[in-house]
Amino acid sequence: MILSVQTDEGASLAHGDCEHVAPNAFAVNGDIAELVGPATDDELRAAARACPAGAILLFDTATGEEVDP
């Protein structure tokens, strides 16, 4: 499965946990965390699990369905 990422900017609290877990993929920019680069599916799942606000949403690119981290 190949994952795509959507960040909910309204939910992001910029804690930086995603950046800590997947520093090549996420960065805190002001008051939101943003996707800034590529990551493995495992890194994306870890970042989504680490987000206390649940602002990182993962989707199966083949089906478009949301995937649990």
Q: Is pTM, for the whole model, over 0.75?
A: yes
Most confident of 5-14, 29-38, 55-64: 55-64
Helix, strand, coil % over all residues of the chain, rounded to 5: 20, 30, 50
Strands 56-60, 66-67: pairing kind: antiparallel
Is the model's pLDDT at 1 over the cut of 90? no
Q: Coil, strand, or helix at residue 60?
A: strand
The percent of residues above 70 in pLDDT, for the chain, comes to 100
**CA torsion angle 36 2 65 23 (round to 10):** -30
3-63, what's its fold?
Answer: Alpha-Beta Plaits (3.30.70)
- Residues 18-37: tens digit of each pLDDT: 999 999 999 999 989 999 99
45 three-state secondary structure? helix
Where along the chain do its domains lie? 3-63
